Amino acid sequence: MKPLVIVGDSMLDIDIEGTATRLSPEAPVPVVDTQRLMQRPGGAGLAALLAARTETRVVLVTGIADDDAGRQLHGLLAAAGVRVLGLPMRGTTVIKTRIRARGQSLLRLDGGDGSPVSRPLSDDVTTVLAGARAICVADYGGGVTALPEIRGVLSQLAPRIPIVWDPHPRGSVPVPGCSLVTPNQQEAQHFCGDSRDGELLRKRWCAQLVCITRGEHGAWVYGPHGAAEHVGVPQPAGASGDVCGAGDRFAVAAATALGAGAGPVAAVVAAVADAARFVATGGAAAVSAPVLRAVLPTGTRIEDPAGVDAVALAERLRRDGHTVVATGGCFDLLHTGHIRLLRQARELGDALIVLVNSDKSVRALKGDGRPVMRDADRARVLAALACVDAVAIFDEPTPQRLLEQLRPDIWVKGGDYAAADLPEAEVVRRHGGEVVILPTVAGYSSSRLIAAATSGRTRTERS
């Protein structure tokens, strides 16, 4: 299948989340008691991350600086399955930090001065763009869309490949011939002085369609045949939702639909619905991961998930209205199946707590010779994963006693189990929780890997 290609400016977004119940004695400003620090790709990086949640082939053409934050950004994208084709950069990675209390943004701090350098595009970039099934341009005013090389290629491709252009007040004008340009209401007013004159923008940009998005009020579509068409939100997203990233979700959904052969208006209808669901399910915060120390300001402290009190964390999150997800197992030799299960589990809520069988428990289940790794080491490996917020070890054959204390909103197990067969399911449901069975990745098994490794060692010893 041809890839969905995202082009634009990427950055690293960090959310500092906590509670604010008092004012500072030095000034009349709220004091935020930090509870967690989360990170995610921002700008075009967020658009690519969102695309990769539904699309199997996503390529991001962007500039990423060679610094700690840039490497972290690259790692987050790679972990999501996004192929990154880098453009030459100067300066440092742009980092945008939001300080939030109980879901409300209090302050945003911007840093970094990275900008792309004008040079001939690599063969990989030109080949990927020419072979795209659709292109989504996420312009964040960082300079990628101003590069003559990028503009030249996109102008050539516009007549034959659907291009959705999400513009920015500090960015460049869309290239002529775009299938769809998607300013929001404020951006449209900036571009032409009237947030309702999409037809003027369509003619100015020589676009096939212009769609002005209006949040919970849906969108207005302006085409070549006169009257504007309103597309409403099928189900209200809720005014209190975090709208960060909603524009990226909209543009990506529209590009995906156009690439699949949908008509422009049908693509807008699908995109409006997708963006509404995105906001209703938590927005950008729902696709974030814990911040790693390398990208934090000097002196900032963050808890090591291996040392976090899982029960206390669950109580605090529940008290603040967050969804707690838990899963469990031996995790004796971590493999691809485990990683995918953990990532999918984390996406179901606001935090993931992993319950690990102790050495005694593993021996009772698996027999002598197991586990291969001590429980403390297995816990440290799991805690190092970005999708894991806390780890707890239990001695019993099943984690029922620990689940009585944790009371997770969602308990996740792999598809080799049935909900009816899980002895801990009754505990979870008694406390109002839900049991979710996620599909496993065929061909991966810790026991099989250990047996293969042991067999190989035995043959070597005999020879």
Judge if 280 and 322 occupy the same domain: no
Q: Is residue 392 one of the residues assigned to a domain?
A: yes
In this predicted structure, what is the pLDDT of residue 463? 36
Contact assessment for residue 262 and residue 251, using Cβ atoms and an 8 Å cutoff? no
Phi, psi at 117, each rounded to 5°: -105, 135
Judge if 249 and 355 occupy the same domain: no
Domain that holds residue 424: 310-454
Judge if 229 and 364 occupy the same domain: no
Judge if 236 and 366 occupy the same domain: no
What is the number of structural domains in the chain?
Answer: 2
R_g over Cα of the chain: 24
Q: Is residue 333 one of the residues assigned to a domain?
A: yes
In this predicted structure, what is the pLDDT of residue 459? 40
Q: Is residue 300 one of the residues assigned to a domain?
A: no
Phi, psi at 39, each rounded to 5°: -140, 160
Judge if 142 and 260 occupy the same domain: yes
In this predicted structure, what is the pLDDT of residue 417? 64
Q: At which of 233, 257, 290 does a domain end? A: 290
Judge if 276 and 357 occupy the same domain: no
In this predicted structure, what is the pLDDT of residue 442? 54
Active-site residue identified among 13, 15, 197, 248? 248
Q: At which of 290, 318, 342 does a domain end? A: 290
In this predicted structure, what is the pLDDT of residue 196? 66
Q: Is residue 297 one of the residues assigned to a domain?
A: no
**Domain with 409 in it: what CATH number?**
3.40.50.620
Judge if 162 and 42 occupy the same domain: yes
Judge if 320 and 214 occupy the same domain: no
Strands (E), 126-282: 134-138, 163-166, 180-181, 210-213, 219-222, 229-231
CA distance linking residue 426 with residue 195, whole number of Å: 54
Contact assessment for residue 162 and residue 135, using Cβ atoms and an 8 Å cutoff? yes
CA distance linking residue 412 with residue 435, whole number of Å: 6
In this predicted structure, what is the pLDDT of residue 238? 45
**Domain with 119 in it: what CATH number?**
3.40.1190.20
Q: Is residue 152 one of the residues assigned to a domain?
A: yes
* pLDDT tens, residue order, the chain (463 aa): 899 999 999 999 998 888 888 998 988 889 988 877 888 999 999 999 999 988 889 999 999 998 888 988 988 888 788 999 999 999 999 999 999 888 788 999 999 999 999 999 999 999 999 999 999 999 999 999 999 999 999 999 999 999 999 999 999 999 999 999 999 999 998 898 765 678 899 999 999 999 999 888 889 999 887 678 899 888 654 444 678 889 999 999 999 999 999 988 899 999 999 998 888 877 787 777 766 544 444 434 344 445 567 888 888 888 878 889 999 988 887 877 888 888 888 888 888 999 999 999 999 888 887 788 888 888 888 887 878 888 889 888 889 999 999 999 999 988 766 666 788 999 999 999 999 888 765 555 555 655 655 555 444 333 3
In this predicted structure, what is the pLDDT of residue 453? 55
Judge if 317 and 392 occupy the same domain: yes
Judge if 285 and 317 occupy the same domain: no
In single-letter form, the type of residue at position 373 comes to M
In this predicted structure, what is the pLDDT of residue 54? 85
Judge if 198 and 317 occupy the same domain: no
Q: Is residue 459 one of the residues assigned to a domain?
A: no
**Known catalytic residue: 248?**
yes
Judge if 314 and 280 occupy the same domain: no
Q: Is residue 207 one of the residues assigned to a domain?
A: yes
In this predicted structure, what is the pLDDT of residue 416? 64
pTM: 0.66
In this predicted structure, what is the pLDDT of residue 243? 83
Q: Is residue 272 one of the residues assigned to a domain?
A: yes
